[in-house]
Amino acid sequence: MSRSRGVLRGSPARRRAIAAAALALPVLLGTAPPAVAAEDEDTIDDPAPPARMSTIGGELLGRSGTQVKLLDGAPRLPRTTCRAWIVADADSGDVLAAKNAHWPLAPASTIKMLFADTLLGSLDKEQSYLVDPADFVDMGAGSSRVGIADGQTYTVDQLWYGVFLASGNDAVYALTALNGGKEKTVRQMNERAEELQAMDTRVVNPDGYDGPGQVSSAYDLTLFARAGMRDEDFRRYASTATYDFPGAVEEDEQDEDEDGPDGDGGSSTGGEDPRRGDGPEKPPKRPTYQIQSTNRLLVGDSGLDPYKGIMGVKNGYTSKAGFTYTGMAERNGRTLIATCMNPEDDDRLRVYKETAALFDWGFTAAGKVEPVGELVPSLTELAEQEAQEAEKNGKDAGDGEDGEDRGLAEAAGEKDGSSGGPVGTVTLLSTTTALMVGLLAGAWLLGRRRRGRNRPLRVYVMPKRPDRPSGG
């Protein structure tokens, strides 16, 4: 399923124009971006959030500690131990509550959401991959695996199930090889994060394996989940509980299928020789084994029931990141996204229990809290919105009380053989669009402050929970 990745990133000329406008705008306004000290990579291990964090999505989201605005009758927040968390409305983008939302922390395998969102649209699901051991030399020791075997062939579709269900780093590196290698894939993931305004994220390894300076935040992971779950294939993989993954075909079994039981390439019962093109070739019979999703809110576990209305998305664990999780759930027509990162103890189920508690609170608190921020749209969505507004404003200006001025302009146009009215309108549109894009880029460079509540950025309504496939 191909998807357009955006006006801004896809056009070098547009990127250069926006960058120039962004650099020029602070000078025109008599302001300059605040200086930000470079942070040491080791600070991601600090037990406390940094003194200064991003304010993308709202000023309150850049503060440390819990942020919530309870109204009369609102339920109290549940007790949580995660270093950072967020719960937001997937449809409106309203952030209902958060704690250290922009704290850059190791993401573990939750970064696979960004990997999938980046690559899903560019790889054909039916494309085949023949395993080459050289494609896995960068995979970290002790990585989670789905069980890809040397010399075997897998489809892209099968590999995606390995990524989502088994969190297989081997499946990630197989897809990475098909995409052109690790360097290219990591670059594209960082570019995609920038396009989504996920500015706390820096990708080093495509699978989430701990690496120097590899970080994301609860806010950014929530953006990745929201963007990814818009894609039909992404939702299907993320909502699948079990799948029959292809096993390895032993070499002697392949030889038997190729040569036949009599060793002459034919059937022991006679008939057509597939090598002569007289009949359809029969591929070797391939065994399968069942893999189950590691998302415990989807499949449950001892002492933990599957969460009612869960739609996905992704969990992770490394020694540096601890347990991390981003989930999406729907109840009574309302869809929430919640992310939790690194709870206090080593209980492997605590991150799910705390996420479930935040979901319960969010569904109960609907209409009883003031948002503390928003999930911002992508740069492409912003540009499209501003262009639509500029076009609308241009039309409104053309239809306003400027008939006399338009008449003079049209008259002037008639004298020199040109059409004054349309030229004036185009000039107005071009000027307005340039101004809006410049303001947009400058605001992004300076750090976007939360937009007025009278202009909600409702750019997408999440689909209802899909039917869960049986066996993949």
The pLDDT value given to residue 396:
72
CA 370 remoteness from chain centre: 26
Asked if residue 123 lies in contact with residue 175, where contact means CB atoms within 8 angstroms, the answer is yes
Least confident segment among 338-342, 403-407, 428-432, 445-449: 445-449
User: What pLDDT digit, counting tens, does each position of 97-131 carry?
Assistant: 999 999 999 999 999 999 999 999 999 999 999 99
Transcribe 337-392 into DSSP letters. EEEEE--SS--TTHHHHHHHHHHHHHHHTTTSEE-SEE-PPPHHHHHHHHHHHHHH
57 Cβ partners below 8 Å, 6+ apart?
95, 101, 219, 373, 374, 375, 376, 448, 450
d(CA 100, CA 362): 18
3: pLDDT strictly greater than 70: no
- Are residues 56 and 219 in contact, defined by beta-carbon separation less than 8 angstroms? yes
Which residues neighbour 101 within 8 Å (Cβ) at sequence distance 6 or greater?
53, 57, 61, 67, 84, 86, 95, 217, 218, 219, 373
At 199-239, the pLDDT tens digits run 999 999 999 999 999 999 999 999 999 999 999 999 999 99
CA dist., res. 178 & res. 36, Å (int): 38
Kindly state the tokens that stand for 334.
Answer: 């309302």
Average pLDDT over residues 14-31: 38
Predicted pLDDT of residue 273: 41
The pLDDT, as a whole number, for residue 285 is: 80
Report the C-alpha gap between 382 and 376 in whole angstroms. Answer: 9
Q: Which of the residue ranges 258-267, 299-308, 346-355 would you say has the lowest mean pLDDT?
A: 258-267
For residue 272, pLDDT beyond 50: no
**Confidence label for 383 from pLDDT (cuts 50, 70 and 90):** very high
Helices (H) and strands (E) counted in the chain, each on its own, are: 14, 12
Highest mean pLDDT pick, 37-41, 254-258, 460-464: 254-258
Averaged pLDDT of the chain: 79
Looking at residue 11, what is its pLDDT? 43
- How far apart are the C-alpha atoms of 271 and 16, rounded to whole Å? 66
Question: Rounded to an integer, what distance in angstroms lies between the CA atom of residue 435 and that of residue 231?
Answer: 33
Structure pTM? 0.74
| Tokens, residue 384 | 């499209």
- Cβ atoms of residues 77 and 325 within 8 Å: no
With CA atoms as reference, report the closest residue to 102 among 200, 203, 194.
Answer: 200
What is the C-alpha radius of gyration for the chain, rounded to an integer number of angstroms?
A: 27
What is the DSSP annotation of 41-80? GGGGG-SS--SS---TT-GGGGSSSEEEEE-TTPPPPPP-
Tens of pLDDT, residues 392-417: 888 776 665 554 454 444 444 444 44
- Report how far apart the first and last C-alpha atoms of the chain are (Å, whole number): 18
Q: Which residues have C-beta within 8 Å of that of residue 428, sequence separation ≥ 6?
A: 394, 397, 398
Hey, what amino acid is at 351? V
When mean pLDDT is compared across 36-40, 78-82, 147-151, 169-173, the lowest value belongs to: 36-40
Whether 173 and 146 have beta carbons less than 8 Å apart is answered as no
Which residues, 6 or more positions from 374, have their beta carbon under 8 angstroms from its beta carbon?
A: 57, 58, 93, 94, 95, 450, 451, 456, 457
CB 312 within 8 A of CB 238: yes
Mean pLDDT of 346-363: 97
Q: What are the φ and ψ backbone dihedral angles of 415, each rounded to 5 degrees?
A: -65, -35
